[in-house]
Amino acid sequence: MKIIYMHDKMLPELMLTGSCLAENGFTANVSVKIQREEQGLKITLVTEEKAWCDLCHYADASVAPDVIHEDGSLYLAGEWLAALGITADARFDMEIVEKMIVIKVLEQRH
């Protein structure tokens, strides 16, 4: 999986791409739940319609709905990435397990 981090004048952006996304169920137009964790993110597939509707209705600052893009990538953007420590200077650990992507910030490089 490839992580591309960008921070232009507007917002920090994170894009996840690669064949291992599709191999683990993260394919075009699939719904996902993005959950902020203390040291990173947990991104989980949402396969049930009721769960998706509940997520869209009850999303808050720590949980949000999103959809995998047509090209199979997942694009995230916002200052909340930097608040979690997800920056260009961070070192990450990332894994895909059981239909879930876990991104942990290990340390900030200076």
Tens of pLDDT, residue by residue over 5-50, are 676 667 788 899 989 999 999 999 999 999 998 888 999 999 999 9
Q: What is the pLDDT of residue 49?
A: 93
Is the pLDDT score of 108 beyond 70? Answer: no
Q: What is the pLDDT of residue 53?
A: 94
DSSP class per residue in the chain: -EEEEEE-SS-EEEEEESHHHHHTT--TT-EEEEEEETTEEEEEE---HHHHHHHHHH--SSEEEEE--TTS-EEEESHHHHHTT-STTEEEEEEEETTEEEEEEEEE--
Bigger pLDDT: 108 vs 92: 92
- Reported as a single tens digit per residue, the pLDDT across 52-104 is 999 999 878 889 999 999 999 999 888 888 888 888 778 888 899 889 999 99
Q: What is the pLDDT of residue 7?
A: 67
Is the pLDDT score of 105 beyond 80? Answer: yes
Q: What is the pLDDT of residue 50?
A: 95
User: Total structural domains in the chain?
Assistant: 1
Residue 57's domain comprises 2-108
Q: What is the pLDDT of residue 31?
A: 96
